[in-house]
Chain A
């Protein structure tokens, strides 16, 4: 049981390049989330999904797109990277909403845009 995994772990992009971050979970969780974490800003929600085939915007969605074609995978895309997108990106998942269902986090992807 690997939990939540993210690929890649590190990436350096040049301004204007594109890339896709992959998140996978093997816990049969319905809900998945993408966050970014910046110094002094805490975790901020980019996009989330409440089930296969669904996506919705979070707090800071501009410059990002997502897809959830399979229940176990949640992809985050950057179409044209900007230096402001330099951050640590975390994916998370939870079994259900409400109650004590916590979010489980992946190990993170450190992205630098030059």
Chain B
């Protein structure tokens, strides 16, 4: 079966660092995406990992370990505007490579407090 797990909610303080974890079990693997979704808005793309290791993009970094079926999103220097849901999504290789279909986790709601 296909399964993606993320914590439901997290709270962090402005200026701090927070790590959002994602574990997955899917039929094959052909890439992992992180999206940000503010309340009432559309998801927007944050990062993509397909090889093991860390991808850094400004205040946001994403890590992947394919052998462990594990990824995390690291947010540094948290700002109030980072309060949002963070969605982990996996593209499986059996069909995803030809269709770009994604399987989404339920998302992690991050609340940044002053």
Footprint of B on A, CB under 8 Å? 4, 31, 33, 35, 40-45, 48, 50, 56, 58, 90, 94, 96-108
Contact = CB atoms under 8 A, between A and B. Distances in A.
B100 A43 contact: no
Interface residues of B, number: 24
Contacts of B50: 100
B23 to A, nearest CB: 14
Contacts of A98: 30-31, 97-98, 100
B43 A43 contact: yes
B102 interface: yes
B98 A50 contact: yes
Nearest to A104: B45
Interface of B: 4, 30-31, 33, 41-45, 48, 50, 87, 89, 96-102, 104-107
Contacts of A48: 99, 101
B101 A58 contact: yes
B100 A103 contact: yes
B107 A42 contact: yes
B112 to A, nearest CB: 21
